[in-house]
Amino acid sequence: MIRLEHLGIAVKDLKTSNELFKKLLGKPHYKIEEVESEHVKTSFFQIGESKIELLEATSPDSAIAKYLEKNREGIHHVAFEVDDIKVAMELASSLGFKVLNEEPKRGADNKLVCFLHPKTTNGVLVEFCQSIK
């Protein structure tokens, strides 16, 4: 099974963006979490069965900071939940997609994550995620 898990949106200021999305969506975020290994602070909004994840850099060396240096605030990645992330990684690799990490990493919202290089996915950074049980 694969389903849309969330859209990741890079933002410069999480507090300001949380207020904006609260107004837009009519409800507050349900969680703020820092992922120290990725130098990012995240905020999640539940929208039906999917989520919006806001991402703010906590270090100028983070992927989000580098993204915002080159781009404006906006959609950073699309995440798909999979039943078995290692199987999804192997399948993606066998189909010619470049998997950016050799092993799944611990991400926000109690997930294991991996990413596919945008050069192999029509310019879209794709994340696979699996809930940690």
Mean pLDDT per block of 10 residues along the chain (133 residues) reads 94 98 97 95 97 98 96 96 97 97 94 97 96 91
From CA 5, how far away is CA 130, in angstroms rounded?
10
Q: For position 73, what pLDDT does the model report?
A: 96
Q: For position 133, what pLDDT does the model report?
A: 85
Q: For position 1, what pLDDT does the model report?
A: 76
Q: For position 29, what pLDDT does the model report?
A: 98
From CA 133, how far away is CA 131, in angstroms rounded?
6
Residue 124 near residue 75, CB atoms below 8 Å: no
Element (H, E) at 15: helix 14-25
> ∠ CA(56), CA(48), CA(19), 5° rounding?
35
For 120, how many CA atoms within 13 A lie in the half-sphere containing its CB?
14
